[in-house]
């Protein structure tokens, strides 16, 4: 079965399409019905009539975005009309919900002109907390967005323009840092002069690129002063002095190539004429302006990004719009302004320089990922993007005066966002807060494991505990260097050379000699990092141990029972598992240790 049939089956199976509406309040009794509808519903109506801002307190408006399209410029398909574009808008709604827990109504308008779209959106605006414009042709999209931004007091955002711009901006920020370029001095060549290209060029200017250093070309060639063909004001703003030129004539010496046009128009020979270490963002879909392989072969020192997921540095809009709207909605911003976009750029660029968690590596089937030429921007499934971008967007809205309900406590806000994306944090976060009050000394027997190395650095950075890694010192530091970790604040203990080895061996022998353990046998047992770590806990040199990453459960549990045993007069130890659902938690015990517990044990 090919991709075509798979895609059709995906959309047609079970309930048709990709969306449903789910009530958030109970409707189980007659009383529920009277509260949800008549007569109880009249009370919030009266409150909103007295104070229009109360609509955010009593309705879903504050978390509801309209994805609006007239289907005149559906990505890769062109003017296919509103109904044919509906699967795209439903998909967009899915991304809003998945990545930022924002509810969406997709609105497909039979509105072929800019005036029609503007009138329709104005009429429906009271329903929504924000408007995401989608797949509206240029130059209509510029006018539609601008007039709606001026007329409405909720965020209006054309993602086809600004989504690409924000992600490309973050990638450019980091590419310039890696190649030690000053953004005010770089020369940028754009292939493409549509909505996304113009918005990207505008954002680059906001980030520090000189407008005079931006050269923009479309299918007619260079955008130059006095050109009459295929021009409109937004494009004309980037006109260069002089006459007509083709791409091959303006590319020599350029620092940056931004492709938002069509596939195959750039050659390796043209890239070789660019400045050393050229920055190449070939973002045409599905085929880039030049393939990754050809660009890499022509310029091995180049920094390359595309719009494709099968190559490094995918410029994907999903890194932008969900988190931008999350921040804007949560502070009830009147707008998504330039400062908020730049804040999103800076947050994404900064996050890419952080250590990448194992959850992201696992999601992408990777063993290692670190900031550099092939990792300029975060991956879309990195759960930290929400925590980094939304607060900075809300903060920028507050500073610029567009936030009607500024965030009172950004630390608490980040924790709220964290719970939104990772339900386990509902349980873990209070424990982490308590741990920070008196950081414990915790032993990790699997000291050379990359996951343990990354976790240890995070634990130190967040002040949760004082990690102690067991293992050969040279091997631990070599692994850490390989993964770009400096292990500051992390203690390393080489079991074989530790001065406490003899003391722990004698302690183990004293505790286990009645079980037939000799002193020689005790030395052999304590040489095992797990047993050694447990002896550290037993003799008060550590507060706890986290093990079992590379060994079966029982292999870790047995020495713990032998060395430490049950606590405080208890006879039985057990395991407990927590399952988190949207409305409740369920704890299960014992699922691991006692296979057939007696009634007394239970």
Q: DSSP readout, 102-159?
A: -EEEEEE----SHHHHHHHHHHHGGG-SEEEE-S--TTHHHHHHHHHHHH-SS-EEEH
pLDDT above 70: percentage of residues in the chain: 99
Phi and psi, residue 578, nearest 5°: -110, 135
Strands 256-259 and 440-444: unpaired
Strand, helix or coil for residue 580: strand
Quick one: angle between helices 529-538 and 501-512, nearest 10? 80
Report domain extents, the chain: 3-24+60-154, 162-315, 318-421, 444-565
* Residue range 239-296, pLDDT digits in tens: 999 889 999 999 999 999 999 999 899 999 999 999 999 999 999 988 899 999 999 9
* Residue range 442-491, pLDDT digits in tens: 999 999 999 899 899 889 988 899 999 999 999 999 998 888 888 888 99
318-421: in CATH 1.10.287.3510 = no
pLDDT of residue 44: 96
The per-residue DSSP string of 46-108 comes to: HHHHH-GGGHHHHSSGGGEEEEEE-SSSBTTTBS--HHHHHHHHHHHHHHHHHHH--EEEEEE
> Which CATH architecture group holds 162-315?
3-Layer(aba) Sandwich (3.40)
| Residue found under tokens 């759960």 | 383
Query: In whole angstroms, what is the distance from residue 578 CA to residue 580 CA?
Result: 6
Decide whether 3-24+60-154 matches 318-421 in CATH topology: yes
* Residue range 571-601, pLDDT digits in tens: 788 888 888 776 677 888 777 777 777 777 7
Q: Quick one: pLDDT band at residue 58, thresholds 50, 70, 90?
A: very high
* Residue range 540-556, pLDDT digits in tens: 999 999 998 888 888 88
With contact defined as beta carbons under 8 Å apart, do 284 and 308 qualify? no
- 92 among known catalytic residues: yes
pLDDT of residue 586: 84
Q: What b/e sequence results for 85-120 when a residue is b if at least 16 CB atoms lie within 10 Å of its CB, and e otherwise?
A: bbbbbbebbebbeebbebbbbbbbbebbebeebbeb
Average pLDDT, rounded, for the chain: 91
Single pTM value for the model: 0.81
Query: In whole angstroms, what is the distance from residue 473 CA to residue 329 CA?
Result: 49
3-24+60-154: in CATH 3.20.20.80 = no
Quick one: angle between helices 553-563 and 501-512, nearest 10? 80
Give me the catalytic one of 4, 18, 86, 92: 92
pLDDT of residue 430: 77
Which CB contacts under 8 angstroms, 24+ apart, belong to 302-310? 302/271, 302/277, 302/278, 303/175, 303/178, 303/179, 303/277, 303/278, 303/279, 303/373, 303/376, 304/280, 305/168, 305/171, 305/175, 305/280, 305/281, 305/376, 305/377, 306/281, 306/282, 307/282, 307/283
Give me the catalytic one of 37, 58, 553, 577: 37
HSE-CB of 331 using CA atoms within 13 angstroms: 31
Query: In whole angstroms, what is the distance from residue 389 CA to residue 348 CA?
Result: 7
With contact defined as beta carbons under 8 Å apart, do 354 and 424 qualify? no
- 379 among known catalytic residues: no
In CATH, the number for domain 444-565 is: 3.40.50.10950
The DSSP call for residue 356 is P
HSE-CB of 502 using CA atoms within 13 angstroms: 1
CA 274 from centroid of its chain's CA atoms: 32
pLDDT of residue 173: 97
């Amino acid at each position: 079965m090919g991709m075509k049939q798979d895609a059709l089956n995906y959309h047609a199976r079970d309930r048709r399409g990709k969306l449903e509406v789910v009530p958030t309040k109970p409707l189980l009794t007659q009383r529920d019905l009277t509260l949800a509808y008549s007569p109880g519903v009249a009370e919030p109506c009266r409150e909103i009539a007295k104070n229009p801002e109360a609509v955010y307190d009593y309705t879903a408006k504050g978390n509801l975005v309209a994805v609006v399209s007239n289907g005149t410029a559906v990505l890769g398909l062109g003017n296919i009309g509103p109904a044919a574009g509906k699967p795209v808008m439903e998909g967009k709604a899915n991304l809003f919900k998945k990545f930022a827990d924002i509810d969406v109504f997709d609105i497909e308008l039979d509105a072929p002109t800019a005036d029609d779209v503007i009138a329709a959106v104005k009429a429906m605006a009271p329903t929504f907390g924000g408007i995401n414009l989608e797949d509206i042709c240029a130059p209509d999209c510029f006018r539609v967005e601008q007039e709606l931004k001026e007329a409405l007091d909720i965020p209006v955002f054309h993602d086809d323009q600004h989504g690409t711009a924000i992600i490309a901006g973050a990638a450019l920020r980091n590419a310039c840092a890696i190649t030690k370029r000053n953004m005010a001095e770089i020369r940028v060549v754009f292939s493409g002069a549509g909505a996304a290209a113009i918005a990207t060029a505008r954002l680059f200017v906001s980030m520090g690129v000189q407008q005079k250093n931006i050269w923009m070309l479309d299918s007619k060639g260079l955008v130059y002063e006095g050109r009459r063909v295929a021009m409109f004001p937004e494009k004309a703003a980037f006109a260069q002095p002089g006459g007509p030129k083709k791409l091959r004539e303006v590319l020599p010496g350029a620092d940056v190539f931004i492709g938002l046009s069509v596939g195959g128009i750039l050659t390796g020979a043209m890239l070789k004429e660019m400045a050393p270490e050229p920055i190449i963002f070939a973002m045409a879909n599905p085929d880039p302006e030049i393939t990754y392989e050809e660009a890499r072969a022509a310029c091995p020192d180049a920094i390359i990004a595309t719009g494709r997921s099968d190559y490094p540095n995918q410029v994907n809009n999903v890194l932008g719009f969900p988190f931008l709207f999350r921040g804007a909605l949560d502070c009830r911003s009147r707008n998504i302004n330039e400062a908020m976009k730049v804040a999103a750029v800076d947050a994404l660029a900064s996050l890419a320089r952080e250590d990448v968690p194992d959850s992201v590596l696992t999601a992408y089937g990777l063993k290692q990922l670190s900031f550099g030429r092939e990792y300029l921007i975060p991956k879309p499934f990195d759960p930290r993007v929400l925590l980094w971008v939304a607060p900075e967007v809300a903060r920028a809205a507050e500073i610029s005066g567009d936030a009607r309900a500024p965030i009172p406590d950004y630390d608490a806000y980040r924790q709220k966002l964290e719970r939104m994306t990772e339900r386990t944090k509902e349980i873990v976060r209070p424990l982490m807060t308590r741990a920070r009050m008196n950081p414990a000394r915790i032993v990790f027997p699997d000291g050379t494991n990359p996951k343990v190395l990354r976790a240890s650095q995070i634990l130190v950075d967040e002040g949760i505990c004082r990690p102690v890694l067991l293992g050969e010192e040279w091997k631990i530091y070599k692994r850490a260097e390989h993964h770009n970790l400096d292990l500051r604040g992390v203690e390393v203990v080489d079991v074989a050379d530790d001065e406490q080895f003899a003391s722990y061996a004698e302690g183990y022998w004293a505790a286990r000699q009645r079980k037939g353990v000799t002193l020689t046998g005790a030395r052999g047992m304590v040489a095992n990092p797990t047993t050694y770590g447990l002896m550290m806990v037993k003799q008060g040199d550590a507060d706890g141990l986290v093990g079992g990453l590379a060994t079966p459960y029982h292999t870790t549990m047995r020495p713990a029972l032998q060395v430490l045993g049950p606590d405080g007069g208890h006879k039985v130890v057990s395991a407990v598992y927590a399952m988190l659902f949207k409305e409740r938690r369920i704890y299960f015990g014992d699922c691991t240790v006692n296979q057939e517990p007696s009634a007394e044990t239970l």
